[in-house]
Amino acid sequence: MRRQRRSLPDAYGAWAVVAGASEGFGAAFAAELADRGMNLVLLARRGDVLGEVRDRLQDNHGVEVRCLTLDLADDAYPVALAEAVAGVDIGIAVYNAASVPIGPFLDNTDEAIRHAVDVNVRGPLHAVRTLVPAMCDRGRGAVVLVSSLSGLQGTPHVAVYAATKAFNTHLAESLWYELRPFGIDVVACCAGAMPTPGYARTFGRDVPGMLAPTEAARQTLDRLGRGPRVVPGRVNRLAAQLMGRAVPRKTAIRFIARDTKHLT
């Protein structure tokens, strides 16, 4: 029997923000939050696709959904986000958006690296600094920063992505401690491979232990209040333990490189 889940609106507030919500893991988070009774503010670049997600969630779950079409690499995004949520009781913030430069690091363009840093590093920093102060004032709230198993060690051929995801893990773990006295729960979701459109475009092939985005989102939200880190999926948790403890770090990196060598 599936254990009873927490009432997220009662625990944190009536609204959630999901950044990177137009497809894949972000859309799965939005659906899971809506299923648990949360109203939503959805952020993504593609307004038409985001509108389809909004309509589907409103029809299926009867919640209110607002869309904010913007580029999370844009310097204007924090101001736009602050204006969009003014007066709204934001209880949960999920930052899922990511940019993934592919191939050897020296072959990545300056533009691709800069975009990855803007979306993967500056993006979550802006989201936290925009949304969390009001949570602290209310004495409740939660933050989910989506990281990756790639961020637990170096990952050749997606070096910038791996490094930025390590940043997100460490940021979430630090905030988990800093924000607890204010009633804020923080967790880093170190997700493994999932069959999402973004994964298919970037990596192009299945790997063992792939978890459905909906299940990964459910497991992550179930871990709120039990952070600071969650690795959804048993196979992924085992892989993280093996790579982190059972084998030397250089061996782990070489092993992963065999799986990413096709990325050019």
The tens digit of pLDDT for each residue in 92-118 reads: 999 999 999 999 999 999 999 999 999
Domain covering 8-260: architecture:
3-Layer(aba) Sandwich (3.40)
Q: Are 101 and 21 in contact (CB under 8 A)?
A: no
Catalytic residue among 165, 177, 199, 261: 165
Q: Domain segments of the chain: what residues?
A: 8-260
Evaluated on CA atoms 161, 163, 164, 168, the torsion sign reads positive
pLDDT at 5: 55
Kindly give the interhelix angle for 47-61 and 24-35, rounded to the nearest 10 degrees: 30
Looking at per-residue pLDDT, the higher value among 120 and 247 belongs to: 120
**The total number of residues written for the chain in this structure:** 264
Catalytic residue among 161, 177, 199, 261: 161
pLDDT tens, 47-93?
A: 999 999 999 999 999 999 999 999 999 999 999 999 999 999 999 99
Looking at every residue in the chain, the average pLDDT score rounds to 91
pLDDT at 198: 67
Q: Are 10 and 32 in contact (CB under 8 A)?
A: no
Looking at per-residue pLDDT, the higher value among 203 and 138 belongs to: 138
Per-residue pLDDT, averaged over 146-166, amounts to: 94
**Is the model's pLDDT at 237 over the cut of 90?**
no
- Least confident residue range of 125-134, 173-182, 195-204, 236-245: 195-204
Task: Please indicate whether residue 177 is annotated as part of the active site.
Answer: no
Task: Please indicate whether residue 161 is annotated as part of the active site.
Answer: yes
Per-residue pLDDT, averaged over 197-215, amounts to: 73
**Is the model's pLDDT at 225 over the cut of 60?**
yes
**Is the model's pLDDT at 4 over the cut of 50?**
no
| Residue 150 amino acid letter | S
**Is the model's pLDDT at 137 over the cut of 50?**
yes
pLDDT at 255: 79
